[in-house]
Structures are given as structure tokens and as C-alpha cells.
Amino acid sequence: MFAVIRPALRVGVLAGRIAILVAFISVECAYNQRVEAPDSVAPPSPPFVPPSPPPPDTTPPGNARSILSTPSPQQLQISYEPPPDGDYKGTRIYWATTPTNLNSAATRTLLCENCSAPVTHTGLINGNSYFYLFINYDQQMNAASGVTVTAIPTNTAATCDNTADDDCLQIASFNLQYFVSGFDGSNSASLQSAKQTGAANVILSAGFDIVALQEIKDYGIFTAWVSSALGNDWGHIISASGCSARTAFIYRRSLVSLLSTEELAAPPFNSANWDGCLRKPLVAIFKAKHSDRQFRLINLHLKSGSDSASCATRQPQAEDVTNYYNNTNTTATLILGDLNDEVKNGLGICSAHDTLNSFETNVGLNILTQSPQLDSNRFTNIPYSSTIDHLMVNATFQGWLVPARATFLADIVTHGDLNISDHQPVFLWIKLR
């Protein structure tokens, strides 16, 4: 059966369609608006101006320093330190048999270009003088003014018989426990100058080459003192621990190279026995420039004071160091510094504890600073009958020792100035070659 569509319904549908069409057209017309606006004009960019080239580098590097010649039969070994300039590139070394020939480019001979120390000059005649010119240059090939030295090859054996003899190496321990109020800049300028000069005079006059120092109170003053009072041949390292009583090494760069340094901080050196302002051991490996001889120095400044708490701390400190030595005894070793107690039988600062027993009983160590090896008459002007600053060596290191004075392997230098220190430096000599 078919449905019948009524005319009225058709009219309604048509009207609805017309309404939708009108609405759609109205919407479309709402978007058909024309907007006019002028374009903005950006300001002109400034013209590109290339940067001016840097001025040419015409500054030469510093001269070679800390030059050392080591004579042997028919040859010379020459070492030196480069300058600290950041653009330093290399060193030329020239030689001649007379100063006049050395000063002329036509008559001198190039030994090496971009040399690497040490340099060995062979085929020489024993007893003859040889003259050397060191010229440093930088990346821009600016050349330094140059520095000259003279050396003589020889068959003569190393003597090592006096403090000025570079065949010897003098190693010392010196506590700079300055009186008045410390080496820390709090004194008057005149007093600071006098104290710094006094300490430098002790070190230089005694001919020390490496010194383990204790009680460094101000890093800035200390580093300036090394440079100004000791000179540019001296290098230094200083500990991080110790607050205003840190430890340090100073050393002559012409005689030794610093191969490595370490402040012991691994267990047990991070325990309460070493915390706070207590000083952790400072270890350095040096190499003698005369030879390939390498050795280790362990700089100590054990807990000070004579009360039971101080002694009870110092005893395990000494044991820790002894155990460290026993576990790392693979090279020639010198343990030195302020141990704050004595090693003579029946004597000591601590009556309740034998704080240094672990050193005294260690068969691998020989304590040089104990009776009767030191002359007690030389201690008449200081507060101690023997010493609390000690030198201890293992067998390898002891094989290099020569008497520091008469038959004494270790000795002391008295200075009698309590404004510098109440400690007299203890020292020894070793053969470099």
C-alpha cells in the first residue's frame, strides 16, 4: 500500500530548507568583511662592522729557569724548567766552546729544537768548559732574551760533602710555629717582614733543598713568602686540611721534580682521629733531576698537646700512618714532621700513652732522630732535651744517606729566635747520584 504525501507537509519541508539556506548565507556574510591597514616599516638595521683584529702578540715568554747540569764522563745532562707563560711553545738550546762563539749565530751549534728536559749532550771532553744558551719561544715565535750556563764534564765521583754541594740533597722538617700571634698577617708589617726574612734565612743559609713545613697559618702570605723570600727556583704544595695549621712542602725545582702529591683522606684518615682541624698526612713523590732516583716523603703533624685526650688521639694517628707505610712500602720512603712526642726511652710528652710505639717497633723504619745519634748539647736553647720533630727512613732510603755532620746521619740547625719558631729544623743528606 502506498502512502499519500499531503501538500501541506511539502510546503513545510520547503520552508525549512529555505530557512537553513538563509542562515548559512548569513553566517558566510559575517566573515566577508574587508579590513585595510598600512604595513609597518621596520627600522633599518645598523650596518655590519667586523670586529677589529686583536693586536699582534709581541710579548716574549720568560726565560728558562732552574737550570741544572749533571756532569759525568764525556757527557752532560741538562735539565730546566719552562716558564709559566700560557703560550709557551718550546725551547732551543745552543752550545759552543767559548762565550764568544755562543753569542754569534754563525758560530754556535743547535743542540736541540723544541727540547724536552732532560737533554743529554754526549761526545764531550772531560775537563773542558761548555757554554749553553737557552732561548724560549711562544706560539707566535716570539723569543725570550735567553739565559746562559757553563758546565764541565768530569770523571770525578760525586762528593756530597758540604751544604752547597748540588751532588747532595738536603731534606729537612721545620715547624713554623711562629710566636707573637702567628704567621698570618695579624702582626705589624715590620714584624711580619722580620719573621718571614728570619725563616727564609734559616732555610737558605742551611742549604735546604726540600723542607716539610708544619703550621702554615695563611695560604696567601705563605705563597707570597715562597716567591719573594726564597726565590723563583722554589716550588710549593700545601695541604687542604689543618685550618690555620696546615702542612706543606717547599722544594728547589732545579734539583727535584714533583711527580705526584696526595693528602691522605681515605679510611682510616677520614675518621674522628683526623677530623676537624687536625692535619691529614701530606704525601709527595719526588724525582732527583741528577738521576732517575725517586722517593716518597710523608709529612706529618700529629695531634698536639700533652693532656690525655691529645695523647689518646695521637697514638692511633701514629698507628694509622704505620699501617699505611706497611701497605705501600714499594719505594724509598722518608717519614718526617712534627710528631709532638719523643722517642727516647723513658722520655716523652705523654706519660699515659706511648704515642709513637708503632713507629718505634716497626722493623721497616729506622728513626734517625733519637739518642745517641743527635748531640744533645745542641738543644741547649730550646725547650726540649732531644726532639719532637723526627726523620724516619726505610732501608732503601737509608742506603742513600751520608753523614749530615761528622758521623751523624741526621742533625739539627739551631737558630735561637723564638719569634720565628720554637722548633729547630732537623735534616739529613742523601746522595742524588
Residue 342 lies in a domain: yes
The pLDDT of 349-376, averaged and rounded, is 80
Residue 340 lies in a domain: yes
Between 95 and 329, residue with greater pLDDT: 95
Residue 391 lies in a domain: yes
Are both 130 and 172 inside the same structural domain? no
Are both 382 and 282 inside the same structural domain? yes
Check: pTM over 0.75? Answer yes or no.
yes
Nearest to 355 by CA among 322, 385, 393: 322
Residue 159 lies in a domain: no
Are both 72 and 187 inside the same structural domain? no
Residue 144 lies in a domain: yes
Are both 77 and 116 inside the same structural domain? yes
CATH code for position 232: 3.60.10.10
The pLDDT of 403-417, averaged and rounded, is 78
Nearest to 202 by CA among 229, 162, 236, 169: 229
Residue 45 lies in a domain: no
Are both 208 and 332 inside the same structural domain? yes
Query: What's the pLDDT at 8?
Result: 47
Structural domains of the chain, count: 2
Q: What is the pLDDT of residues 59-113, one digit of tens each?
A: 999 999 999 999 999 999 999 999 999 999 999 999 999 999 999 999 999 999 9
% of the chain surpassing 90 pLDDT? 56
CATH code for position 102: 2.60.40.10
Are both 238 and 380 inside the same structural domain? yes
C-beta of residue 323 within 8 angstroms of C-beta of residue 361: no
Q: Which domain holds residue 303?
A: 168-431
Q: What is the pLDDT of residues 242-284, one digit of tens each?
A: 998 999 999 999 999 999 999 999 999 999 999 889 999 999 9
Instruction: State the average pLDDT for the chain.
Output: 85
Model confidence band, residue 39 (pLDDT cutoffs 50, 70, 90): confident
Q: Among 151, 182, 204, give the residue marking a domain's end.
A: 151
C-beta neighbour count of 269 within 10 angstroms: 19
CA 202 to each of CA 173, 198, 199, 265, 286: distance values in angstroms, whole numbers, following the listed order: 12, 6, 5, 32, 23
Are both 245 and 292 inside the same structural domain? yes
Q: What is the pLDDT of residues 169-225, one digit of tens each?
A: 999 999 987 655 556 777 788 888 888 999 999 999 999 999 999 999 889 989 999
In Å, how far from its chain's centre is CA 76?
Answer: 28
CA 115 to each of CA 64, 104, 112, 233: distance values in angstroms, whole numbers, following the listed order: 12, 20, 5, 20
Residue 321 lies in a domain: yes
Nearest to 178 by CA among 204, 202, 205: 202
Are both 147 and 172 inside the same structural domain? no
Are both 411 and 375 inside the same structural domain? yes
Are both 221 and 355 inside the same structural domain? yes
Q: What is d(CA 372, CA 356) in angstroms, rounded to the nearest whole number?
A: 18
% of the chain surpassing 70 pLDDT? 84
Are both 218 and 144 inside the same structural domain? no
Residue 163 lies in a domain: no
Are both 130 and 236 inside the same structural domain? no
- pLDDT tops 70 at residue 23: no
Q: Among 151, 185, 203, give the residue marking a domain's end.
A: 151
